Structure 1
Amino acid sequence: MSELFKNIIRFVLLIFVQVFILNNIMLNGWVQPYLYLLLILLLPFQTPRWLLLMIGTATGWIIDNFMHTPGLHAAACAAIAYLRPFLIGMLAPQGGFEDTTRSPSPATMGTGKFVFYAGMLVLIHHVIYFTLEVFNFQATPYLAMKIVFSTLVTLLLIFVYGLLFFEKRPRRR
């Protein structure tokens, strides 16, 4: 299966899961899981920045339309799409990743680097999104707790997604 076809299927399924399942989950007002961020996180290493920005903004815009949040997801997704190449560059080995046509995953980056990569981008997204959503500095403790708990639950969902769908790294003997 081609990488483009795989990404289109992933796009449709993750948007569907986000809109019809995860958007209906809000645990006591503290946790809002956003698994759709994988659409940006799992694009191939070689994806040009202009395309990342277009995909990130379009993805955020689609989620904004379903959630009736005027531009909040689009802004946060555009920001992580812009920052993604910098973070990948920081985490890449000296010669770069072996196959740039592949996507970031624990198998291509290593588990620790992938967790850091996903964690940083999810945290940045949540800081931007929830700060714009709350937009009240008197609610800083509430905002901080919402960011932390939502980030942790989103990373847990990414981990579960990884157990189900990421390719396995071959074992060394």
Structure 2
Amino acid sequence: MSDLVRNIIRFMLFIFLQVYVLNVMPHLHQLVTPYIYFLFILWLPFYFKKAWILILGFFLGLSVDYYTMTPGLHAAASVLVAFLRPMVINLFAPKDSTEFSYKEPSPKAMGWTAYLLYALILSFCHNFYLLFLEWVSFGSFIHFLMKTIITTAISMVMIIIAEIIFPRKLKFRSNTV
């Protein structure tokens, strides 16, 4: 399957999962709001140009905004994640070219520790910004911080589960030995 088809399927699958499963299920608590759709941005191949990542992030967030009837909140948070992604990858990607031979970020490509830090930083940025935009309209600051931390923790658990249940067969980016 080509990268284009795989990413189109992922895009639709993450929007469907977020809108029709996670947003519909009854919440365990008012502080628990699971978000997983931004994992699409985290799984994009390394070779995507920053402009395309920003465009895809915008359309991903806009799609979720359309179904949840939020005025650009998810689009803003997704664009932030898309903007920060290359910088965070540069922090955690192996510097040796022989170790850096996979096409997309994953625990196999980056190692579990680096991948989890990559996902944690971007998950926290996404949730902090999204919940901050919601908090500006109403709410207390302590409630906002607790919801950000708990939402990030839940998102990280779902990311780890997704990585374990759906391991990706990664192709090499180049012919390095």
Q: Same fold (TM over 0.5)?
A: yes
More helix by proportion, 1 or 2? 1
Report the AA paired with residue 112 of structure 1.
Answer: T
Whether the 8 Å contact between 2:93 and 2:100 is mirrored in structure 1 is: no
Report the AA paired with residue 147 of structure 1.
Answer: T
Report the AA paired with residue 50 of structure 1.
Answer: A
Paired residue for 1:112? 113
SS at match of 2:104: coil
Residues paired across the two proteins, number:
168
1:47-66 matches, within 5 Å, as 47-66=48-67
TM-score by length of 2: 0.89
Paired residue for 2:173? none
TM-score by length of 1: 0.91
Q: CA RMSD in A?
A: 1.8
Whether the 8 Å contact between 1:107 and 1:167 is mirrored in structure 2 is: no
Whether the 8 Å contact between 2:94 and 2:100 is mirrored in structure 1 is: no
1:19-168 matches, within 5 Å, as 19-25=19-25, 26-96=27-97, 98-99=100-101, 102-135=103-136, 139-167=140-168
Query: Following the alignment from structure 2 to structure 1, what is the Cα–Cα distance between the partners of residues 71 and 137?
Result: 17
Unpaired runs of 5+ residues, structure 2, are 171-177
Q: Which stretch of the first structure deviates more once superposed, 6-15 or 87-96?
A: 87-96
Alpha-carbon offset, residue 90 of structure 1: 1.0
SS at match of 1:46: coil
Alpha-carbon offset, residue 168 of structure 1: 7.3
Unpaired runs of 5+ residues, structure 1, are none
Q: Which stretch of the first structure deviates more once superposed, 89-98 or 52-61?
A: 89-98
Paired residue for 1:5? 5
Alpha-carbon offset, residue 165 of structure 1: 1.1
